[in-house]
Structure formats: structure tokens, C-alpha cells
Amino acid sequence: MKILKTLFIVVCITFGMQSCDEDVLDLKPLSSVSEIDVFNDKALLSAYVNETYTGVYHMHEANDLGTIGLEDLSYIKVQNTGGYNEYLTAQVTPDNGESFTKNRWARCFGYIRHINSYFANIEGSTIDQPSLDLLSAEMYFMRAYYYFELLKWYGPVPLVDKRYGLEDKDVRLPRASIDEVVAFIVADLDRVISSSIGTVTSPAKASKGAAMAMKGRVLLYAASELFNPSNDMSKWTAAAAANKAVMDMSEYPLASDYGAMFNTSAYLDPEVIFAKEYNLLRSQGGSSGANTLLFPNGFEGWQNAGPTQKFVDMFDMANGMQPLLPDGSVNPASGYDPQNPYANRDPRLDDIVFYNDLPFKDRTVEFWAAFTDDGNGDPTGREFLKDANGILLVGKDSYARGGEISLTGYAWRKHTVESLPNDHNKPPAVFTPDIFYRKAEAYLNYAETQIALGNEGAARDAINVIRARVNMPPINYTGDDLVEAYRRERAIELSFESHRFFDVRRWKIAEDVMGKRQKGVWVEKLSTGQFVYNYGLITAASSGYAWHDKLYWAPIPRGEIVTSEGAWTNNPGYD
């Protein structure tokens, strides 16, 4: 079995998460460092443990922006790379599936082997026990992290809890059930929670708080329909308790400023429980970075992904009402004006989305086009306005200019920093972190458990805490309306944090929301200076989007199925 035979021995000096102690360099030439040295020297073993963090998936890996290109509320432009096209058009197979999963199978099992090697070799170590206990807590946390990644993508997977060698040729571990994998992950997290590790450590490192937050999410997923088709209510009760424990942790207060958590350089609010940090030595990647990847064209950004109109329509009016009715018509009681669409909306809209006429830097965002005749925004068969010298008289960020244009009429503002240039990786800039766990999620997770358990008042209370942070009125929905309001709140609050991709699967609603044509907005500036908003824009590539229920799980790579010699079958739809 490939996952059991891959040689994964690493001694690293410079890490993505944290550098090793410089004393390591003075110990012995790397060419002569042995496994015995590593497990009997605190500095070397700390380096070995730190290496496990380098496999954490993040939005700047290969400029892929996490899972945003695989979600229904965003449009990704680079669909011919990274497995996007195969996934979005339902052409995933066991031969190409690791492209859209970013090689999760091999990568996660490689790090799990690395972690299991640690546990196999610390017995008899001469390092003091308190230090070993702290290092072991980190390793339990990271093993839980990698198994949770595998569970989210593949469902049942083999549980490898020891290091196997090349001589173990006949090992054929079965795929454990979802419940068994969940129990394994929770057991590792409980070891961290009961250990001597701090409740708060560096946000980029394991902590008791991070283990509690991961446990809350793991148990929420385990209770959800995809993982819990029989709707075992005891799983919802367990998820409720785990997330309530995170809500009650005073060490992680909710941030007072939502936007500052994501749009301020090198800022980590106390709400953040676990994150990947960047600095001048650990950049966001190559010559790019969040500003380059996300800024509008006129600010020299690439706009690699853009929110869809569906996402923008989710934002309530400032009075707490939805702008549109379920049939897509204007909600007359809301005060929404489709020709002044961004006025009086949930303030998080300004923190999350670049939209036309949004004040930014020294001007407003200009997604508009102008034409030789006034119209309704649709450019079909029309001529863009030019001056006497043939220069386009269109918005600086407009699709009419060509280049790195927005294909939805929007761009993602979340994770960008207004005070920095688009060339995000050059001194003296520092960089916005990727946040994996934060306090607000626990409130929303808890709300979901309370809806499932029939405690609608408790669910509304938890949701309203999150809304109160941005001065939004409380909700008072019940029944199915409460479920939809909760899902909108979750989509907004946790947007662009790699939640939506998994949420629509665990809720089993992907067949309703995926595989659809994605819509945006055309904006026209009339000769009077007024804007016209036309919501008929459909991104061209999305016309070929499709959904197949097999995509609820990723396929196990074909090579692994073959190597198992009949011990495994693939996930449904991948035969």
C-alpha cells in the first residue's frame, strides 16, 4: 500500500510555520544526523514536530485561494488549472481527482506517517518528560488535522496509527467507517485538551483552544446529513456540547471589528484560535499575495476570483430584512433599490466585497462601462465610449478595458489590505494571515445544533450574537425560514474561509446549488453620470457547469485501489 511504504524522514532547519533553534546548526552536520539524534535532542525533535505544520493547506498555496473556486458563491477565472474544470463540469475520475483535492490523499498520509514515526521513536527518549508531553500534544493535534482533512474529502479512510516499514508488505488496512474515523480524531483531540499544553499559544501552533475548536467542527460535520444519514440525535447533542465549550472560552473574545480581522496587515485579533501567519520570511507565495490575487484591475490586481450576484443578494438590508423575496423579486418592505443596490446593507458587505462605487484608496471602485448610447447595461451589440483619440472612457476596473478583469462585476475584498500596494510580498509589507478557526464559528456551529435539536430560541440567540457585532438587527425567523437565515448568516460571516465547499455537502444541498450558471452584474454609466445595474450577466464558462452526486466525496486515487488488491472499493460513482 503506497501510503504505508512512502519514506518520509525529514529533518528541517527552516519551516513554513516556525524556524528551528539556531543551536541545531551547531550540533552535527546534517549528513550525519541520525534518527537516534533526532529523538534524543530537544532542538532536533522540536524541528521534527514543527515540520508537521508545513502541510497545512492554505489559500495561497499555488495561488489557488483555498476552496473558493469550488464553491457556488464565487467564480474562479483559472478554471483550466488546478482541477477546477474537472470538478465544476463533473468530470472527476479516480485518475484526475487528486488535482482538485490538491493531492490530499498522499500528502495527508505522508504527514500521518511522519507523526506516527514520532510516536514510535519517543519511547526511551532522553528528553525530559514535560517537554515530550508538550511535543506529543502538538503531534496529536496535527494527526487529528490530517485525518479530518481526509474525512472531509474522502469519507471512510484507513486508520493508520503506527509506523509501518517497507518490510510490512502484506499490510492491508480496511477503510474505517465514518464513525470510527470521527472517534479516532476526537480521541487525539481529547488528548490535547487534557494535556499540559496552553489554552492559548502562538495562533500558528497547536493549543488547547485550537483542539477544542477543531473538535467542535469535527462533531458538527459528524452530525450532519452526509455523515449522519440516520440523523442520530446524540451526535447533534455531542456537537452542541463541544461548540458550547468553545463559546464559553474567555481567552478568545469576539472581535469588535469584523473587517480588521481580515483586512489589516499582520493583525491577529484575540478571536483567532488557529491561523497561518505570514511575514517577510514566510510570504504568501512567489510574487503574488492576497492584494495581487484579489484587487480589482485598476488597482493592478488579478481578480482571480469574484463573488457572484447570488452571494451579494444574501446580505440583509441594514434594517435586517432580505432585499429580495424567494422568487427573486424585490422585497417591497425592505427598502432595497436595485438601481442603488449597495446602500443601507449589512456593513460586512463593504469588508468582504469590492463593488461598483465603493470608496477605496484614493477613488471609488469603477466596474462600470460607458457606451456611445445610453442603455440598460447589457453590452451586446454596442460600442464602448471613446474620446477623440480613441481612448476608452470607461471605469478603471471595467471589463471593457480587458486584461485582468472581473467576470462577475465584483471582486473579493476580504483578505486584502488597503494600505498596501498590490505587490504584496515586497518590504516593508507584512501580510494578512489565513484564519482556520475563530470564535464566531463556534456560535454558528452551536446555532446549527440547536436548530437540529428543536431549540430555535437558543439558535437565534447564538446567531444574533454574531449579528450584534456588526450592529445588525436580531433575527426572529422560525422553521424553514430560520434554517435559510442561518445558512445565509454562515455564508456571509465565514465567507472565503473554506467553509462553503464543505457546508453544501454535509447539508446534502449540493445538487440544488452546484452545477448552475453563475451570475453577476453589468454596470453602465449613463451620459447623465447615473449608474444602471443589469443583473443578467452570466459568466460564459459557467454555462457548462454540471453536478453529479458522486462529487459528495472525492475519489480515492486509482493507484491506491489497485495496490489494495481488492481490499478497498472506491467511493460511489467512481467504479
SS3 readout for 233-254: HHHHHHHHHHHHHHHCCCCCCC
Q: Which residues contact 266 (CB under 8 A, 6 or more apart)?
A: 277, 278, 279, 430, 431, 432, 433
Beta pairing, strands 272-276 & 434-438: antiparallel
- The rounded distance, in Å, linking the Cα atoms of 11 and 117 is 13
Give the other-Cβ count within 10 Å of 384's Cβ.
Answer: 16
pLDDT for residue 1:
42
pLDDT for residue 278:
84
- The rounded distance, in Å, linking the Cα atoms of 72 and 88 is 10
Contact 310, 337 (CB under 8 A): no
Task: List the Cα angle 9/15/19 in 5-degree steps.
Answer: 115
Q: Phi and psi (nearest 5°) for 358? A: -75, 125
Cell (9 digits) for 539: 459568466
Q: Directed axis angle between helix 456-469 and helix 479-493, to 10°?
A: 30
pLDDT for residue 367:
98
Q: Which residues contact 57 (CB under 8 A, 6 or more apart)?
A: 66, 102, 104, 149
Contact 75, 521 (CB under 8 A): no
DSSP bridge partners of 307: 74
DSSP 117-162: HHHHH-TT--S-HHHHHHHHHHHHHHHHHHHHHHHHHHSS-----S
Grid coordinates 470510527 are at which residue?
A: 180
Residue 382 carries which side chain, given as an amino acid letter? R
Cell (9 digits) for 465: 450574537
Taking the alpha carbons at both ends of the chain, their separation in whole angstroms is: 19
Cell (9 digits) for 272: 483567532
Q: Phi and psi (nearest 5°) for 275? A: -155, 165
pLDDT for residue 488:
98
- The rounded distance, in Å, linking the Cα atoms of 392 and 369 is 9
- The rounded distance, in Å, linking the Cα atoms of 437 and 349 is 21
Continuous segment of H or E residues that includes residue 310 = helix 309-313
Task: List the Cα angle 62/68/74 in 5-degree steps.
Answer: 130
Question: What's the Cα-to-Cα distance from 161 to each of 112, 116, 568, rounded to whole Å?
Answer: 8, 6, 18
Question: What's the Cα-to-Cα distance from 242 to each of 174, 252, 363, 482, rounded to whole Å?
Answer: 29, 15, 46, 22
- The rounded distance, in Å, linking the Cα atoms of 141 and 209 is 11
Contact 78, 87 (CB under 8 A): no
96: phi > 0 → left, psi -120 to 50 → alpha, else beta; which?
alpha
- The rounded distance, in Å, linking the Cα atoms of 69 and 76 is 5
Question: What's the Cα-to-Cα distance from 553 to each of 122, 167, 514, rounded to whole Å?
Answer: 36, 32, 14
pLDDT by residue for the chain (575 residues), tens only, comes to 444 333 233 333 333 334 333 343 344 444 445 678 899 999 999 999 999 999 999 988 888 899 999 999 999 988 877 899 999 999 999 999 999 999 999 999 999 999 999 999 999 899 999 999 999 999 999 999 999 999 999 999 999 988 776 555 546 789 999 999 999 999 999 999 999 999 988 889 999 999 999 999 999 999 999 999 999 999 999 999 999 999 999 999 999 999 999 998 767 889 999 999 887 777 787 667 889 899 999 998 999 999 999 999 999 999 999 999 999 999 999 999 999 999 999 999 999 999 999 999 999 999 999 999 999 999 999 999 999 999 999 999 999 998 889 999 999 999 999 988 776 556 666 678 899 999 999 999 999 999 999 999 999 999 999 999 999 999 999 999 999 999 999 999 999 999 999 999 999 999 999 999 999 999 999 999 999 999 999 999 899 999 999 999 999 999 999 988 888 999 999 98
The domain segmentation of the chain, as residue ranges, is 2-60+87-254
Contact 378, 323 (CB under 8 A): no
Domain 2-60+87-254 sits in CATH at: 1.25.40.390
Contact 200, 249 (CB under 8 A): no
Q: Directed axis angle between helix 208-223 and helix 129-154, to 10°?
A: 30
pLDDT for residue 422:
74
- The rounded distance, in Å, linking the Cα atoms of 405 and 422 is 15
Continuous segment of H or E residues that includes residue 359 = strand 359-360
The alpha carbons of the chain give a radius of gyration, in whole angstroms, of 25
Q: What is the DSSP letter of 273?
A: E
Q: What is the DSSP letter of 73?
A: T
DSSP bridge partners of 384: 371
Quick check: bond before 433 cis, omega within 30?
A: no
Q: Which of 372, 395, 376, 396 shows the shortest CA–CA distance to 385?
A: 372
Give me the half-sphere count of Cα atoms (radius 13 Å) on the Cβ side of residue 164: 20
Strand ranges in 74-212 using DSSP code E only, listed in sequence order: 74-76
Note every long-range contact of 557-563, with CB atoms under 8 Å and residues 24 or more positions apart, other chains counting: 557/94, 557/95, 557/97, 557/98, 557/105, 557/106, 558/93, 558/94, 558/95, 559/2, 560/1, 560/2, 560/3, 560/105, 561/94, 563/1, 563/2
